Amino acid sequence: MARRSFMGRSLVGRSHAIARFTTLGALVCAFTAVFVEEGHARAQVPAEEGDDDGSAGEDSGEDSGENGENGDAEEAIQAPVAAKPFTVGGYAEAFYQWNFNAPSNGITNARGFDNRHNSFTLANVALDAQWDHEDVVGRVTLQVGHTPSTYYLAEPALPGSGAANESGTALWKYVQQAYAGYRFDVGGGLLIAAGLFLSPIGPEGMAVRDNWNWSRSNLFFGLPFYHTGVKATYSLTETWALTLAGYNGWNSVVDSNEEKSVSAQLTYTRPDRLALSVLYFSGVERAPGAPEGRAWRHLVDAHATWQITPAVAVLGHANAGFEPNRFGTSGWVAGAVYGRFRVLPPLYLALRGDAFHEQVASNRMGAASPLFWPVAWVASGTGTVDYRPHERVSFRLEYRHDHAAGEMFFGGDVAGDGRSTPFVPDRRAQDTLALGVTTWL
C-alpha cells in the first residue's frame, strides 16, 4: 500500500489555520492579563527549586510518586535531592474539553487520555509509595479513573483454566507500576530491579504535572506505555548511566508470545542544564500466528532537554524503527519539538509540534497490519498555558489541532453505535480546547 510522507502535507485552508493561531494567541494574552498583577505581588518559589524536604517545587520535576522511567522532561535536569528512605505521594487530575467537531459519540479520537468531548472528566487519581533504604529499593503506584482503561488498552487478553486465572485489562488496570530491587556496591553502583515499569521510551510521563502540556504527543500515545521484566542500571560516572533490560514486550504485563524483548539505554544528566537519552529496543511484538510471522521489531529513540536560561527550556524527541516481516519491511519515523517559557514566576507557556509517519509493508501476498495508525501519518500542534498559584497545583488551558492523512477523527453525526457496529471516522482533522487542573502531594 502506497504511503505518503507527512512532510509534504498542506493544512486544510490557510485562513482556517490563521484563525486557529489567532484564537490561541488571544487566549494566551487574556490568560496572562488575568494573572500578571497577582504574579508580581505574590512571592514565588523559583521554578527550578524544590522544598527543603525534597517535595516538588512550583516547577520542579522531583519524583514524589507520579512519574515513571520516561518521567518529566524538566525533571531530568533538576539538581539531585537527598533521598528519603520511605516516601508516600499521589496526584489527582480532572479536566473539561470541547471538541470543535462536536462528535455525536463524544469521543476525541486517537488522543490517549484526554479523549472525551463536552464532559467534565476525572482523568486519574494515583497513590504512590516508594522506598530506598540500605540499598533496598521498591515502588508501587496504584491508579483509578478514566486514564487506566486507555493505559491498558493494548494489554493481551489471555484465557485461564479451572486452576489458573485469566489475565487482561480488568486484572491490571489499577496498577500503574510496581517493582522491587537492590543496589549492589559495584563500581559506581549497580541497581537491579524487577517488576512492572513505565516505559523508558520518550521524555513524557504519566503525571500531567510532570509534562509541559496537558495532552501527550502522538509519539507518547503511539509508542508503549509500560513493560514488565528486569533491568540493571550501572552508574558509569556522576553524569553517565547505562541501563540494560529484558521485558515481556510492548504493553504486556503477561507475555503473549515466546520471545522476550531487550533494550539498552544510555543517559547523560547535567543538573539544571542538560539531559540526554539514547535507547535501542528490540523484540517480537505481534501475537503468535500473526500473518506477518515472527517479525522482530527494532526501535531507536533519542531525546534531549536543554535549560537555556532559568526561564527558557527546549526539548527535542526523535523516534524511528522498522520491522521486517512476510510482506516486506514496515517502518516508521516520528519527532516532536517542545518549548517552555516562564512568563512570570507562576505562569508558563508551552508549545509543542509533533508528526508521526508510518510505512506499512506490502507485496503480492498482501499487506501487513499497521503498527500504529489506520492512516499514513498524523501530526499535531499544541499550545498550553500553565498557571501555578501554589507549588502543588497546576491549572492548564490548552488548545490543540490534530491532522491526519485520512479520516481518523470524529465529527457531527457519527455512523455506528460503538457496540454492534463500530464508530466510523469521518474527519481528517480535529481542534480542541481543554481546561484542566492537577494537584499532588
DSSP β-bridge partners for residue 381? 353, 401
- Mark out the alpha helices in 228-282 (DSSP H runs): none
Residue type, 249: G
Half-sphere exposure at residue 109, Cβ-oriented, CA atoms within 13 angstroms: 25
The DSSP H or E segment spanning 20 is: helix 14-41
Q: Is 196 exposed, middle or buried (0-12, 13-18, 19+ CB in 10 A)?
A: buried
Which residues fall within 8 angstroms of residue 2, CB to CB, at 6 or more apart?
Answer: none
DSSP-based three-state secondary structure for 36 = helix
DSSP β-bridge partners for residue 119? 97
Grid cell locating 298: 527494532
Q: Are 329 and 322 in contact (CB under 8 A)?
A: yes
Q: How far is CA 439 from CA 33, 45, 129, 240, 387, in A?
A: 23, 17, 17, 32, 12
User: What is the structure's pLDDT at 83?
Assistant: 64
User: What is the structure's pLDDT at 9?
Assistant: 39
- Residue 251, sorted as left (phi over 0), alpha (psi -120 to 50) or beta, turns out to be left
| pTM, to two decimals | 0.82
For the CA atoms of 9, 401, 31, 55, the dihedral, rounded to the nearest 10 degrees, stands at -110
Q: Is 418 exposed, middle or buried (0-12, 13-18, 19+ CB in 10 A)?
A: exposed
User: What is the structure's pLDDT at 256?
Assistant: 87
Residue with cell 527543603: 52
Residue with cell 502522538: 218
- Mark out the alpha helices in 300-399 (DSSP H runs): none
User: What is the structure's pLDDT at 81?
Assistant: 52
Q: Are 120 and 428 in contact (CB under 8 A)?
A: no
Grid cell locating 334: 516520528
Kindly give the confidence (pLDDT) of every residue in the chain, 441 residues in length, as a single tens digit, with 9 standing for 90 and above.
433 333 333 333 434 444 444 444 444 344 334 333 443 333 333 333 334 333 433 343 334 334 444 444 444 455 445 568 999 999 999 999 999 999 999 999 999 999 999 999 999 999 999 999 999 999 999 999 999 999 999 999 999 999 999 999 999 999 999 999 999 999 989 999 999 999 999 999 999 999 999 999 999 999 999 999 999 999 999 999 999 999 999 999 999 888 999 999 999 999 889 999 999 999 999 989 999 999 999 999 999 999 999 999 999 999 999 999 999 999 999 999 999 999 999 999 999 999 999 999 999 999 999 999 999 999 999 999 999 999 999 999 999 999 999 999 999 999 999 999 999 999 999 999 999 999 999
User: What is the structure's pLDDT at 84?
Assistant: 81
Report how far residue 43's alpha carbon sits from residue 39's, in angstroms, rounded to the nearest whole number. Answer: 8
What the chain holds in terms of domains, given with CATH numbers, is 6-440 (2.40.160.10)
Report how far residue 5's alpha carbon sits from residue 356's, in angstroms, rounded to the nearest whole number. Answer: 9
Grid cell locating 160: 485461564
Which of 183, 192, 238, 217 shows the shortest CA–CA distance to 316? 217
